[in-house]
Amino acid sequence: MSSRNNYIEETLYEYILSTSLRDTPLQARLRDETANMPSGIMQISPDQGQFMALLVKLTNATKILEVGSFTGYSALVMAQALPNSGKLVACDISKEYTSIAQRYWKEAGVSDRIDLRIGSAVETLSDLIQKDSADTFDMAFIDADKVNYRSYYESCLALLRPGGLLMIDNVLWNGRPAHKEETDEDTVAIRNLNRSLHHDERIDVSLLSIGDGLTLARKR
């Protein structure tokens, strides 16, 4: 989890933001409000958000799935990149955090594009599969509890259409997966998933050092 890129020194990172970031005032305000929260570090970095919005446009996505919305920044930037008829299903367990998200989604005029599902994401994804949504999503983004990453990955892969794009956040986890002595359950879950995706023939994959690590996987 990181609200900035952990793998670039501060001066260079500030240069990257100053020469490429096109934050709207609303997006910046949401980031600032979230940054002042005790859990603000869970927010994605602004350069990652802008990159994800660009991917929405490059893939011509019209139907997106998000696992873990927090205060809504990632859903906001992706929903704003969707066409007016686009839809984003957002899964989160917290009414407190998503109440902040809903304020900003409404102010941005994208509430009608976002279908917020409060509850267990494992159950929500299973329900979507059972209700014939498999192979229908253009894009999915996972940024939630790490111990369930494998389950989220399998469900999102089932829900993506062939050629659809899956984005998985925090796959570098502040560098801990690279160190075998790090054995907490979150680190182990991420390490195992990274190893598994490297050899998963169902996808084309690339791991990027943006934010706290972002994996892009295209469903074959």
Pairing label, strands 137-142, 160-169: parallel
What is the distance between the alpha carbons of residues 112 and 40, in angstroms, rounded to a whole number?
A: 26
Q: What angle in degrees, to the nearest 10, is found between the helix axes of 95-108 and 73-81?
A: 30
CA atoms within 13 A on the CB side of 77: 29
The residue type at 201:
E
Which are the contacts of 43, defined by CB distance < 8 A and separation ≥ 6? 3, 31, 34, 35, 70, 71, 73
| pLDDT tens for the chain, residues 1 to 220 | 566 777 889 999 999 999 999 999 999 999 999 999 999 999 999 999 999 999 999 999 999 999 999 999 999 999 999 999 999 999 999 999 999 999 999 999 999 999 999 999 999 999 999 999 999 999 999 999 999 999 999 999 999 999 999 999 999 999 999 999 999 999 999 999 999 999 999 999 999 999 999 999 999 9
pLDDT in tens, 133-163: 999 999 999 999 999 999 999 999 999 999 9
Contact 144, 152 (CB under 8 A): yes
This prediction has a pTM of: 0.96
Question: Which tokens go with 90?
Answer: 């957002």
The topology (CATH level 3) of 10-219 is: Rossmann fold (3.40.50)
